[in-house]
Amino acid sequence: MKRPEQYAYASKETVMQTVLDQVKPVILAAAIALGLSVHCTQAGAAEQQTALFAGGCFWCVEADFEGVDGVTEVVSGFAGGMVEDPTYKQVVNGGTGHYEAVEITYDPSRVTYAELVDLFLRSVDPTDAGGQFCDRGESYRTAIFAAPDQAGVANAAIAAAQAELGQQIVTPVLPASAFYPADDYHQDYYKKQDLILTRFGPRSKEKAYKLYRAACGRDERVRELWGNAAPFVGG
């Protein structure tokens, strides 16, 4: 004959088994959901692509493109030159062959490379081979640095923009180049609040940027060229 504690033990075992039978599907479903989430996150990360544009002052190009839907990051830096990892001073002094450029990371399911090129061309003066606006010299020239699968898209966009503008576009499509990020001083310059000394006295970088952009005539010239097609005028 079974003792009372044996009945109790058997009863606990039965209860535990019942609980496990009920919990197993929940645990399995949670594991599957977690696995799918990780897979989707990894797949999403793998889908990120980059575009590399030189459009004069990289502060301005970065400011313009950081607000574009589908763009996840914009980094200011240098591309197209002969010196490895140049400093800002080296580039602006000339002789390195570098352009001030931005590397744009984007989600192609939300914005395409062709759309980014269209926005870029209409945010600069692509008829000027000597620089951009008040900034003159080789480091301020415009260019599109394109991977082999991007070059055809970029050239087609230039042809369409040239037909729309009715003027020759001199912005070249160049082979993809090593990109060297500028130092932190230049990243997100247009919205930083730390003070710098300007000819107008101490100003935040944000304020100094706005004064510079207005004085340089960037928006005025882009508006003159592109009219309502200019996407970032006043940015």
Catalytic positions are 57
Number of Cβ within 10 Å of residue 162's Cβ equals 17
DSSP symbol at 182: P
Strand partners for 135: 132
* 158 touches 168 (CB < 8 A): no
Q: Is 50 left (phi over 0), alpha (psi -120 to 50) or beta?
A: beta
CA distance 101 to 78: 5
Q: Which residues, other chains included, contact 142 with Cβ-Cβ below 8 Å and sequence gap of 6+? A: 53, 54, 55, 56, 124, 125, 126, 128, 132, 170, 171
10 Å Cβ neighbour count for 100? 28
* Per-residue tokens: 141: 């020239």
